[in-house]
Amino acid sequence: MRFVIPAVVAACAITSACISGIDVPECHPTTLTVASTQGDTVTINTGLRYIDVTSGTGTASDWCHNVAVAYEAYLEDGTQFDASPPTTPLVFAPGLGSLIDGFEQGVIGMKPGGSRRLIIPPSIGFGPNDRKDAAGNVIVPGNSTVVYDIGVIQVAP
């Protein structure tokens, strides 16, 4: 697994803070429970599968609170289709619905310095429709399972 966390951590240290602790009033948490565990792969009730790579320390991320992450996104065949910029984390509040459900669910419970591989089925990913780039090229075919390697940089208190 490849992670771009070190460059992002350095950028956050330079700017002193990546995120603020603003709660999001229109946040809609999802109840997540472990459905099964096989080896190091955990499957939750929504169909999301994940593998914890590094645990991290400090405050765990939670619904409706901002979290800063670095990520790389792949199709199941290993083709990369997206990544956070090397020095700029993605900041979002899980439960707001600004990202695909599987990504938002996948950061819940992670701590700063932690990394996780998310395996997201189409039902909580991009769904049945192709995802295209600005030029109209298909970058994620419809009904694709996608894989994200994510690292948590900072969690809002």
CATH number at residue 90: 3.10.50.40
Q: Which residues contact 115 (CB under 8 A, 6 or more apart)?
A: 1, 3, 5, 52, 53, 54, 56, 149, 150, 151, 152
Alpha helices for 34-139 (secondary structure H): 101-107
Looking at the DSSP bridge assignments, the partners of residue 155 are 67
pLDDT tens digits for 87-114? 999 999 999 999 999 999 999 999 999 9
**Pseudo-torsion of CA 144, 108, 49, 112, nearest 10°?**
100
Range in 16-20, 97-101, 121-125 with the lowest mean pLDDT: 16-20
pLDDT at 22 over 60: no
Confidence of residue 19 (pLDDT cuts 50, 70, 90): low
* 25, part of any domain: no
pLDDT tens digits for 43-66? 999 999 999 999 999 999 999 999
* 11, part of any domain: yes
**Number of domains, the chain:** 1
Per-residue model confidence (pLDDT) at position 18: 57
Alpha helices for 16-148 (secondary structure H): 101-107
* 131, part of any domain: yes
* 50, part of any domain: yes
* 24, part of any domain: no
Tell me how far the alpha carbon of residue 12 is from its chain's centroid: 18
Per-residue model confidence (pLDDT) at position 81: 97
* 69, part of any domain: yes
Contact call for residues 22 and 67 (beta carbons, < 8 A)? no
Could you list the residue range(s) of the whole structural domain that residue 56 is in?
Answer: 5-19+30-155
* 60, part of any domain: yes
Q: Pick from 96, 109, 107, 111: which is nearest to 150 by CA?
A: 107
